[in-house]
Amino acid sequence: MTETAVATVTLEIRGLHASVEGKEILKGIDLVVKQGETHALMGPNGSGKSTLANVLMGRPGYQVTSGEVLFKGENILALRPDQRAQRGLFLAMQYPVEVPGVSVVNFLRTAYKAVKAEEISALAFRKHMKEKMNLLGVEDAMVNRYVNQGFSGGEKKKNEILQLAVLEPDIAVLDETDSGLDIDSLKAVAMGVEQLIGPDLGVLLITHYQRILNYVSPDFVHVMIGGRIVKSGGKELAHELEEKGYEGVRKELGIDQENDEQEG
């Protein structure tokens, strides 16, 4: 009896151009992220990294002027953010927002039901969430607090990773998950991401620094400058960037810094 092969989920970005308030930020992005792969997207401030994350998830205010974003073979650019999440796409935000009056556990259960489009009892959800908490080392006290209210930077990012674990998407975009963290918080959050990486999860890890890659080992590294991916390679590329910096890449490729956009 022959087993039916399960198709690998793919996020494919083709010729993506996007603007913010009439200013072109993304100038032709081509990138493919497959389930089971970890991609690091690195670049200086203002290169367009966060703009790409926001466009992928459908945040209002970002105008796609040309190109496609195919997820599971479907162009998702016309879909609402919640519809993209239901398809299996996830975004961990660079700046998680507070949700006063809503506990983390209630927020996660509501999000789970919305994304999975199915009812789940409080008991069954608690069991599912507790398994993920144990995996990530999240304490009970955190999930009983209001979402991100009074949270430290590390707690906010850890809560984003707990959402990722609970919702079990196919592809996750992590937008500068390491920003604003001290070394201990960075290590805790990065190790949480590393715990979740596996054959069922594709990751696009957006970062400014190489330091998170000391804990999360990428399969591919891409360098983004001036709204374009200008160089791609294996994890050794991150170490090359650490040694010569983005300015070294600019010089190597003959990129004029004055042409870089100052957005996301």
Could you report the per-residue pLDDT of 136-157, keeping only the tens digit for each?
989 999 999 999 999 988 899 9
Q: How confident is the model at residue 181 (pLDDT cuts 50, 70, 90)?
A: confident
Residue 219, judged by CB atoms within 10 A of its CB (0-12, 13-18, 19+), counts as middle
Domains identified in the chain, total number:
1
Q: Is the pLDDT of residue 243 over 50?
A: yes
Question: Domain for residue 186, yes or no?
Answer: yes
Mean pLDDT of the chain: 91
Q: How confident is the model at residue 126 (pLDDT cuts 50, 70, 90)?
A: very high
Question: Residue 261 has what pLDDT?
Answer: 45
Question: Residue 19 has what pLDDT?
Answer: 96
Question: Domain for residue 143, yes or no?
Answer: yes
Cβ–Cβ under 8 Å, residues 195 and 16 = no
Question: Residue 179 has what pLDDT?
Answer: 83
Question: Domain for residue 188, yes or no?
Answer: yes
% pLDDT > 70, the chain: 95
Question: Residue 117 has what pLDDT?
Answer: 85
Q: How confident is the model at residue 20 (pLDDT cuts 50, 70, 90)?
A: very high
Question: Domain for residue 103, yes or no?
Answer: yes
More confident residue, 168 or 7: 168
User: What length is written for the chain?
Assistant: 264
Question: Domain for residue 205, yes or no?
Answer: yes
Q: What angle do CA 146, 152, 158 make, to 5 degrees?
A: 75
Q: How confident is the model at residue 47 (pLDDT cuts 50, 70, 90)?
A: very high
Distance CA(201)–CA(197), nearest Å, equals 6
Question: Domain for residue 2, yes or no?
Answer: no
The average pLDDT across 54-60 equals: 95
CATH number (domain holding residue 200): 3.40.50.300
Domain that includes residue 228, residue range? 10-259
Q: CB-based contacts of 123: which residues, under 8 Å, 6+ apart?
A: none
The average pLDDT across 188-213 equals: 92
Q: What is the pTM of this model?
A: 0.91
Residue 126, judged by CB atoms within 10 A of its CB (0-12, 13-18, 19+), counts as middle
SS3 state at 4:
coil
* Closest by Cα among 166, 97, 167, 176 to 135: 166
Work out the end-to-end distance of the chain between its first and last CA atoms, rounded to an integer number of angstroms.
51
Question: Residue 262 has what pLDDT?
Answer: 45
Q: Is the pLDDT of residue 2 over 80?
A: no
Question: Domain for residue 264, yes or no?
Answer: no
Could you report the per-residue pLDDT of 106-119, keeping only the tens digit for each?
999 999 999 998 88
Pairing of strands 62-71, 74-75: antiparallel
Question: Residue 6 has what pLDDT?
Answer: 60
SS3 state at 65:
strand
Question: Domain for residue 3, yes or no?
Answer: no
DSSP string, 140-162: HHHHTSEETTT--HHHHHHHHHH
